[in-house]
Structure 1
């Protein structure tokens, strides 16, 4: 298979347009079109459905795009490792973690990392789906359970508990519950138990819901839950790491919480010597250490 044609195909599939792919590749639309047509003829297959609104991959096109995407990721990883410098930390690092941890804990701390390494480019991918590190969907993951793949380097960072929090003004107006049963008189804000989340969080929420909760707001991520709680809407189920950055929150029913949720940092064995990965790992480890110290000082752990 002609590598140049495959590169052009990948750009077209990624852009969904001959024109946009041509701009990326510095080629004319007609040149791109000729290369795609030639590739289709060599494979004896139609790779795109042509529509007025753009190009849509056929089933055969999807198969080829999956292969070209995996190859592209591998090549990017190889280039990154080759360019790793002993003196400098630079280049792109793709980090994946959950929406809640990424938006509420990690992102607010990234200015410190950029201050240390201004040439680093972080691609932060926040989603509940577990990306495949060995297949290079990401370089580094922070996960709320121990990774199962054998070819990953992993480091346990800390543990998290799901707890109940509310704003003092809300509790002053509606009362402070003393038992789980008292939550029936309050509005509960939580992730929907059918949403993708760690099982400990879902189990804790399901336990609360056995107490005949009448008024609820469900959100598909903890960032939304936090915003509703901060605006005095009710009592929220939130990970305990939020209280360091939002000390105005008041814990409700301090005797009740989920089981511990382990937090792991993981990356592929092949990135063991990556300077960017090492810089990110060391940064997160130091931030976790400072986080634990402050939590202990405040008596929150």
Structure 2
């Protein structure tokens, strides 16, 4: 059995399609398909069902995926142990993060990390979605909850707060409510409930039991821009909103408290580039901890 064939199988299993795996590996579609067939022939079983919409692992493929994951972890650990300085802080690290934290807070800071490590390529994917670390959709993920399952390494980054905000123009034209019971009649900007990626982000009822959004946006930054434009009241990340002079916090409402976690797959723990990025993010958060509350 050829390790390169196993590596290609892992890419196909994680991408869910041969074309996506080929792009990620820098190979052509035919080569990937041929190497999967060679692995199946070597093992004497069918691992992948090829479909018009992508690929699906057979039951044998699912079982072999666990073995392939362990093989990959062993290879990574062996390289780190036998040649600890050979890799250096180089290669590509993809970070998945919520758009608020990723765009407004993390993106302005990652340039320093790139300057410190010229051989490192950082990919920041700041979108309001969850990332599968087992499928390598990201190497590192910033999440709102500690993962309950999977072979993952997780550490709490920081607590943060959300508060009710309005634009100064809205406050002048429409006035502000005095508390949760006074919110009726005000235009409310919120999230799209069925697109919430985590139960921790379904928090409108904590701000006001009768919250009913008239304008729903799936992006936290989109909600903030709508509130700034006077579309209505909105529940915004305090560490972002307080930097905008055209926004005012609405008094008489509770602060909502949540947390960010930094998570990566345990097989990546020996990689210096992963540890360098994780350490950088942790240090940056620690230095700015007070701004999140």
TM-score by length of 2: 0.71
> In the alignment, is residue 279 of structure 1 matched against residue 276 of structure 2?
yes
8 Å CA contact retained: 1:6, 1:68: no
**2: CA distance between counterparts of 1:139 and 1:129?**
13
8 Å CA contact retained: 2:77, 2:270: no
2:218 corresponds in structure 1 to: 220
1:47 is displaced (CA, Å) by: 3.7
**2: CA distance between counterparts of 1:242 and 1:259?**
14
1:265 corresponds in structure 2 to: 262
- For residue 130 of structure 2, give the secondary structure of its aligned residue in structure 1: coil
List per-residue Cα deviations over 1:245-292 (Å, max 9, x = no partner): 434322123x32344223333456666665434433443234324434
> In the alignment, is residue 252 of structure 1 matched against residue 250 of structure 2?
yes
Change in Cα spacing, 1:198 to 1:160, as seen in structure 2 (3 Å) is farther
1:89 corresponds in structure 2 to: 89
Deviates more, 1:158-167 or 1:4-13: 4-13
8 Å CA contact retained: 2:97, 2:125: yes
Aligned residue runs from structure 1 range 282-293, under 5 A? 282-292=279-289
8 Å CA contact retained: 1:86, 1:275: no
2:239 corresponds in structure 1 to: 241
**1: CA distance between counterparts of 2:272 and 2:4?**
31
**1: CA distance between counterparts of 2:19 and 2:147?**
38
**2: CA distance between counterparts of 1:68 and 1:55?**
22
Task: Give the alignment's Cα RMSD to 1 decimal.
Answer: 4.4
Change in Cα spacing, 1:277 to 1:17, as seen in structure 2 (3 Å) is closer
Stretches of structure 2 lacking an aligned partner (at least 5 in a row)? none
1:163 is displaced (CA, Å) by: 0.9
2:209 corresponds in structure 1 to: 210
Larger Rg: 1 or 2?
A: 1
**2: CA distance between counterparts of 1:273 and 1:37?**
31
Change in Cα spacing, 1:35 to 1:87, as seen in structure 2 (3 Å) is closer
1:140 is displaced (CA, Å) by: 3.5
- For residue 211 of structure 1, give the secondary structure of its aligned residue in structure 2: coil
Change in Cα spacing, 1:141 to 1:178, as seen in structure 2 (3 Å) is same
Deviates more, 1:160-169 or 1:100-109: 100-109
8 Å CA contact retained: 1:48, 1:61: no
2:180 corresponds in structure 1 to: 180
8 Å CA contact retained: 2:89, 2:120: yes
**1: CA distance between counterparts of 2:32 and 2:246?**
57
TM-score by length of 1: 0.70
List per-residue Cα deviations over 1:100-156 (Å, max 9, x = no partner): 3223322232223223323222233555436457x8765444332345569766544
**1: CA distance between counterparts of 2:8 and 2:164?**
52
2:109 corresponds in structure 1 to: 109
1:16 corresponds in structure 2 to: 18
Change in Cα spacing, 1:267 to 1:32, as seen in structure 2 (3 Å) is closer
- For residue 184 of structure 2, give the secondary structure of its aligned residue in structure 1: helix
- For residue 183 of structure 2, give the secondary structure of its aligned residue in structure 1: helix
- For residue 260 of structure 1, give the secondary structure of its aligned residue in structure 2: strand
**2: CA distance between counterparts of 1:123 and 1:221?**
20
**2: CA distance between counterparts of 1:145 and 1:55?**
30
Change in Cα spacing, 1:7 to 1:144, as seen in structure 2 (3 Å) is closer
- For residue 265 of structure 1, give the secondary structure of its aligned residue in structure 2: strand
Stretches of structure 1 lacking an aligned partner (at least 5 in a row)? none
2:100 corresponds in structure 1 to: 100
**2: CA distance between counterparts of 1:71 and 1:150?**
14
**2: CA distance between counterparts of 1:55 and 1:197?**
27
